[in-house]
Structure 1
Amino acid sequence: MKIIDLKTTEKFVVYLLDQIEKHKEDWYIENQEMQSTNNELRHFKALVEKSPLVPMDIKKKIADINFTFDEIKHSRKQFFRNFFTIWQRNIFSNSAEETDSDKFKLKLEKLRVDLINIKRMINLHK
C-alpha cells in the first residue's frame, strides 16, 4: 500500500485547486476530467486517512470535505433541465432567485476555501 506524506498531500491539494480554477466557469459542460478528479479525490481521502505521516488536524480537515465531483453530474442535469424555465422566469420577472447553478457554484467556492485552508495548515507543519 502506498503511504502518502505531507508533501504529496500538499501537491494533491494544489492539483484540486487548479481543477476548480480551471473548470469553475465551464462546470456544466460534459467533462470526463472532472469524473476522474472525483475518483482521485476519493482515493486521496482514503490514503490520507491511513497515513501515519499526515498530522491529525490535516487528516480531519480532509476527511471533512463532503464535496464530491459526482455533484457536478447532478448539477449539470439540473442546469440543462431548468435552463429554459429559469431563463423565462428571469426575463419576465426581476427576482434574483437562487438557482441550482448558483448553489453549486457556492459549494465549489466552499471547497476551494477549504482546500486553501488545508494548504495553509500543511505549511504550518513544515
Structure 2
Amino acid sequence: MHAEYVFRVRFRLAPEGGVSVAPAEFETVLRVPAVEPGDPDDEWLFFRDNCWRGEVADERHLRDRAEELLGVPVVAVTFSELATDEAYLDALKAAIAEDVDQFGDDTASRVLTTYLGSSIRVVDDEA
C-alpha cells in the first residue's frame, strides 16, 4: 500500500557573498508520502486539511512547509495529484466512509472529489 501527494514547487536561490545566479528561480516536483488511512493522529487527513477541489487550500501554509522540507525560499506551490495504488485508495475510501459526516458529503467518492477534484492517479503497486 503506497500513496503520495505530488506538488509542483517553484523555489528561489538566494546566494550570499556577492555572487549571483541566473536563473534564480527553478521548479521541481515534491512528493509527500501519504500516511496510512485511519492513522490515530489524523495525519491521514492531509487531503482534507490542505486541498480543496484539487487545488492547494492555503498556499502560504504549504509554501512554509515546503521551505522547511527543501531548505530554500519557496515562491509557489501547486497541487498536482494524489498518486496512489489501488490498495491505498480502497483503504482511504474505507476510512472516510467510517465517518463520512465529518466531511459534509454522503459518500467517500464525493469527499475525494470535493477535496482532490479529479487529481487522483492510480499507479501500479510497484510504484
TM-score by length of 1: 0.27
Structure with the bigger percentage of strand: 2
How does the TM-score come out when normalised to structure 2? Answer: 0.27
